[in-house]
């Protein structure tokens, strides 16, 4: 009898089931865990309180990224709480025998940027982190998802998690992206189409000719924001682009092991005829640069568009939601996005802090100045990205344009350090969440691509990057 065709997700799931329980949950083996300073302290405390040891220290990798300052890194961290939190990660990892990448280490960076850079993330793995943007790593064909601190502790102690299998959602993207349109625009359009809970309970597999043509960095951007549609997991089947990216990375398999791994990785794709519970089609040719106007990542539009009219909403609840978002954002209904003036720009984050992101922003900013009413920062996703950008002279372009060039961290994506907006300030941001207060109490966030953020910085208002190419 022929085998039932399987999706990539089903294969990854099946290859990690330790045991099935009788209520539909399974004990899933976790191959790798990334740890950071915010979600791990309580997990380590639990380990200590119960006298437990870490089952596989070599399967863990820690780095501080959320709370770290992005300037004056040669000095002690000024904020005493942040200093304590970062120090706690160092002492906890030392106590339990785990590798921690220190703030002074050239490899330091955002967990979701350094995992791929170091070759820690590999196809076929299960990978978790106490961070919802762990879906990023699915770009390698790894089953990667965000978890809470209690689950971090469970993985430290047992290398397993009790999970329920997700349903399969195929987002198929075909066609060629136009000039100025990037992976960020694709995912903003997808989240806009699905809604912020549209993929809850699903694992997304992105496929189609557009995805196949994307670089690893663009695929990482795509998978990164799967959680903004509710999906804990986003996947792209590994291919030659994936393997070429991985080969030679510090933690990637070498020599004979590389050959064995590669043979296995080539089997990781959805079978012909595999059944998906839901399929969504996106036409890449028709996509324009996108920007959000509201307080949820699905509240977006093409940059040529306008804020919605709550009166035209299809339900009372939808109307309230739009009214509330517009009120927080300080925007009237039917305002053209290009008429929305900005005060700040942020280029960085686990969504758009990689070298290609910085190149695309720099291409727009080269020879231009940001508007006198705008201030902004460029925060590379890792030390490696920073060095590469400096080698290419991108830092000089940013500085000459009037932006600050910083050190690696999450920065203004989560506003836990001193990179924070004042109440009412409006930011063109390459990050992933435009939630109320996300960039500071009362701050207003418009999500967009790095090239669009750069164009908006120059214009002093939300701009169509295609006018700046």
Partner 1 sequence: MEKFQRLISRAAPMPNADIDTDIIFPARFLLITEKTGLGRYAFYDWRHSADGGDAPQFVLNEPAYSGAKILVCGDNFGCGSSREQAPWALRDLGVTCLISTSFGEIFRANCFKNGMLPIVLPPAPWAELLRLANEGGELDVDLLGCTISGPDIAPIPFDVEPSRREALLEGWDEIAIALRKDAEAIAAFEDRQRANQPWLYERD
Rg (CA), the chain: 22
**Min separation Cβ 151 and partner 1, Å:** 7
Q: Name which of 51 and 273 has its Cβ closer to partner 1.
A: 51
**Residues 6+ positions from 320 with CB-CB distance below 8 Å:** none
Cβ neighbours for 105, distance < 8 A, ≥ 6 positions apart? 383
Q: How far is the CB of 195 from partner 1 (least distance, A)?
A: 9
Q: Which is nearer to partner 1, 162 or 387 (CB)?
A: 162
Residue with tokens 């300073």: 37
Q: At its nearest, how many Å lie between partner 1 and the CB of residue 269? A: 17
Query: CB of residue 249 vs partner 1: minimum separation in angstroms?
Result: 13
Residue with Cβ nearer partner 1 (201 or 330): 201
CB-count exposure of residue 326 (10 Å: 0-12, 13-18, 19+): buried
For residue 63, the SS3 value is: strand
Sign, Cα dihedral of 121, 193, 184, 416: negative
Residue nearer to partner 1 on the CB measure, 22 or 240: 22
> Closest separation between CB of residue 56 and partner 1, Å?
6
Contacts of 317 (CB under 8 A, 6+ apart): none
Closer residue to partner 1 in complex, CB, 254/359: 254
CB nearer partner 1, residue 316 or residue 367 = 316
Burial class of residue 288 (count of CB atoms within 10 Å of its CB; 0-12, 13-18, 19+): middle
In angstroms, the CA 271 to CA 188 distance is 28
Q: How far is the CB of 67 from partner 1 (least distance, A)?
A: 6
Give strand ranges (E) for 159-297.
Answer: 160-164, 167-174, 202-207, 233-235, 278-283, 290-292
Task: For the CB of residue 48, give the shortest distance to partner 1 in the complex, in Å.
Answer: 13
CB of 134 to partner 1, least distance (A): 8
Ramachandran region, residue 124 (left: φ > 0; alpha: ψ -120 to 50; beta: rest): left
Q: How far is the CB of 253 from partner 1 (least distance, A)?
A: 4
In angstroms, the CA 39 to CA 329 distance is 30
Nearest-CA neighbor of 143 among 226, 216, 232, 60?
232
- Distance, in Å, from the CA atom of 332 to the CA atom of 56, rounded to the nearest integer, reads 54
User: What are the beta bridge partners of residue 282?
Assistant: 173
Q: Which residue, 82 or 347, is less far from partner 1 as judged by CB? A: 82
User: CB of 251 within 8 A of CB of 34?
Assistant: no
> Which of 106, 423 has the CB closer to partner 1?
423
Between 97 and 311, CB nearer to partner 1: 97
Measured between alpha carbons, how far is 85 from 67 in angstroms, rounded to an integer?
8
């Amino acid at each position: 009898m022929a085998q039932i065709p399987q999706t990539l997700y089903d294969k990854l799931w099946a290859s990690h089931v330790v045991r099935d329980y009788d209520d539909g949950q399974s004990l899933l083996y976790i191959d790798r865990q990334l740890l950071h300073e915010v979600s791990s302290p309580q997990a380590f405390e639990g380990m200590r309180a119960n006298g437990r040891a870490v089952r596989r220290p070599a399967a863990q990798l820690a780095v501080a990224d959320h709370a770290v300052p992005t300037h004056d890194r040669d000095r002690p961290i000024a904020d005493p709480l942040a200093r304590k939190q970062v120090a706690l990660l160092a002492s906890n990892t030392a106590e339990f025998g785990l590798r921690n990448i220190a703030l002074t280490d050239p490899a330091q960076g955002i967990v979701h940027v350094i995992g791929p850079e170091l070759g820690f993330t590999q196809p076929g793995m299960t990978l978790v982190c106490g961070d919802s943007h762990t879906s990023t790593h699915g770009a390698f064909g790894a089953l990667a998802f965000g978890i809470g601190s209690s689950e971090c502790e469970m993985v430290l102690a047992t290398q397993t998690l009790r999970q329920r299998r997700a349903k399969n959602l195929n987002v198929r993207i075909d066609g060629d992206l136009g000039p100025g349109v990037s992976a960020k625009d694709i995912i903003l359009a997808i989240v806009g189409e699905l809604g912020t809970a549209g993929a809850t309970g699903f694992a997304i597999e992105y496929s189609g000719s557009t995805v196949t043509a994307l670089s690893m960095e663009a695929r990482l951007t795509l998978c990164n924001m799967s959680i903004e549609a509710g999906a804990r997991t986003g996947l792209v089947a590994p291919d030659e682009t994936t393997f070429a990216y991985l080969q030679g990375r510090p933690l990637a398999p070498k020599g004979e092991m590389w050959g064995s791994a590669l043979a296995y990785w080539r089997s990781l794709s959805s079978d012909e005829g595999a059944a998906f519970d839901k399929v969504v089609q996106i036409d890449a040719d028709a996509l324009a640069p996108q920007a959000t106007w509201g307080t949820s990542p699905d509240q977006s539009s093409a940059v040529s568009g306008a804020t919605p009219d709550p009166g035209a909403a299809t339900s009372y609840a939808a109307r309230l939601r739009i009214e509330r978002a517009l009120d927080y954002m300080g925007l009237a209904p039917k305002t053209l996005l290009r008429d929305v003036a900005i005060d700040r720009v942020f280029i960085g984050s686990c969504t758009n802090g990689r070298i290609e992101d910085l190149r695309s922003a720099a291409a727009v900013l080269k020879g231009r100045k940001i508007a006198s009413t705008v201030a902004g920062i460029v925060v590379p996703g890792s030390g490696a990205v920073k060095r590469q950008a400096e080698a290419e002279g991108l830092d000089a372009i940013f500085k000459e344009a009037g932006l600050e060039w910083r050190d690696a961290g999450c920065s203004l994506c989560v506003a836990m350090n001193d990179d924070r907006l004042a109440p009412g300030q409006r930011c063109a941001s390459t990050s992933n969440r435009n939630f109320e207060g996300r960039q500071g109490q009362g701050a207003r966030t418009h999500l967009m691509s790095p090239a669009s953020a750069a164009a908006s910085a120059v214009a002093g208002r939300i701009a169509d990057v295609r006018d700046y190419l």
